[in-house]
């Protein structure tokens, strides 16, 4: 049933598919969509950390990935404001 | 699938069994990220794709599966965060210089005029700092620092005197030294492990708190510009 391997391999599949999706997925020429696609491997990594009982690492990762998304979106918005080609 | 390296008995066999799949996943994800970066022409897209390499690195670190992994994930995350922050700033300033025009530091019109920002900060800051002091360590520092950051951002006063900056930076440096002394005591005089534990825990707590409050001071300088 839902044993520990289920969570682990679900995480593995999510990480690999999500990273492929954010590299060659649909619509990734838009940097916002590419940034949002990165959330899928982030969920997979969270499942893997959960499998290993790394609670503090999981909490810190959630906080850090939020800040990273904010920084990336700020960079995208400012570069678009400047009229750089994206 | 079992690992063929020497493993101490305290590591559970489930973790040992998951070691090789986790390492291979990390390597595959890292290769995907690095290949995509090498084919990528645009700098901003390459910056976004470095996140994938960071995820691969974290999977490899997590595959150790013990407390060592937890303690190694934290510095890895901090390094990744600092790297992305620095490179995004470099990209923006290079674009500004290329265009040769002056722009605002903060392009979004942030007119923070909500009631919660005038009534709540003291309460939030007290609760978060008390809870962070109870937790201690890196996590407690992050929580207490978040409270101070929120408080500092929402206060209306502008212009921080230079000696406050230097005082905060110096105090966080001293706390960092306490952390180092704590670690030294662990190895030099293991009998005093409780003292060493508290020195390390509260040293890193004070340091992370002050660093986060410095970020809050910087953020206030940007938000309250008009």
Q: Which domains are seen in chain B, by residue range?
A: 13-99 (1.10.287), 116-223 (no CATH)
Interface membership of B94 toward A (CB under 8 Å) = no
Chain centre distance of CA B21: 28
Distance of alpha carbon A37 from alpha carbon B216, whole angstroms: 29
Residue B174: strand, helix, or coil: helix
Q: State chain B's mean pLDDT as an integer.
A: 78
Q: CA B163, B168, B170: angle at the middle one, nearest 5? A: 90
Sign of CA dihedral B66, B72, B78, B79: negative
The string of pLDDT tens digits covering residues B57-86 is 999 988 887 778 888 888 888 888 888 888
Distance of alpha carbon B174 from alpha carbon B85, whole angstroms: 25
Q: What are the Cα distances from residue B185, in Å, to A85, B149, B196?
A: 55, 32, 6
Interface membership of B161 toward A (CB under 8 Å) = no
The string of pLDDT tens digits covering residues B198-215 is 888 888 888 877 777 777
Q: Tell me what pLDDT residue B26 has.
A: 93
Interface membership of B11 toward A (CB under 8 Å) = no
Q: What are the Cα distances from residue B62, in Å, to A53, A58, B65, B82, B117?
A: 10, 10, 6, 20, 39
More confident residue, B55 or B154: B55
pLDDT of B128 > 50? The answer is: yes
Decide if B69 and A42 are in contact by the 8 Å CB cutoff.
Answer: no
Q: Tell me what pLDDT residue A20 has.
A: 93
pLDDT tens, chain A, 86 aa long? 578 888 899 999 999 999 999 999 888 888 899 999 999 999 999 999 988 888 888 888 888 888 888 888 888 888 887 777 76
**Closest to B74 (Cβ–Cβ): which among A16, A57, A82?**
A57
Decide if A22 and B15 are in contact by the 8 Å CB cutoff.
Answer: no
Domain ranges for chain A, please list them. 4-82
Decide if A51 and B44 are in contact by the 8 Å CB cutoff.
Answer: no
């Amino acid at each position: 049933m839902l044993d520990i391997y289920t969570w682990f391999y679900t995480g593995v599949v999510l990480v690999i598919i999500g990273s492929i999706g954010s590299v060659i997925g649909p619509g990734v020429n838009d940097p916002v969509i590419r940034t949002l696609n990165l959330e899928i491997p982030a969920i997979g990594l969270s499942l893997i950390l959960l499998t290993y009982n790394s609670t503090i690492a999981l909490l810190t990762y959630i906080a850090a990935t939020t800040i990273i998304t904010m920084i990336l979106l700020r960079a995208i918005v400012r570069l678009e404001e400047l009229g750089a080609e994206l | 699938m079992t690992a063929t390296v020497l493993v101490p008995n305290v590591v559970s066999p489930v973790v040992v069994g998951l070691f090789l799949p986790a390492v291979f996943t990390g390597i595959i994800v890292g290769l995907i990220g690095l290949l995509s970066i090498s084919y990528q022409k645009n700098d901003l897209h390459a910056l976004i794709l470095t996140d994938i390499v960071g995820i691969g690195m974290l999977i490899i670190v997590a595959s150790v599966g013990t407390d060592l992994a937890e303690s190694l994930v934290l510095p890895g995350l901090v390094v990744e965060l600092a790297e992305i922050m620095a490179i995004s700033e470099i990209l923006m300033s290079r674009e500004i210089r290329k265009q040769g025009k002056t722009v605002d530091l903060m392009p979004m019109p942030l007119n923070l005029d909500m009631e919660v920002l005038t009534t709540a900060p003291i309460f939030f800051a007290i609760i978060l700092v008390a809870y962070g002091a109870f937790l201690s360590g890196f996590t407690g520092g992050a929580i207490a620092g978040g409270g101070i950051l929120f408080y500092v951002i929402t206060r209306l006063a502008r212009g921080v005197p230079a000696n406050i900056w230097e005082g905060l930076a110096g105090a966080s440096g001293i706390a960092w030294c306490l952390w180092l002394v704590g670690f030294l005591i662990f190895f030099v005089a293991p009998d005093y492990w409780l003292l060493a534990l508290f020195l390390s825990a509260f040293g890193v707590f004070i340091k992370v708190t002050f660093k986060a409050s410095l970020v809050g001071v910087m953020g206030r300088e940007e938000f309250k510009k008009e």
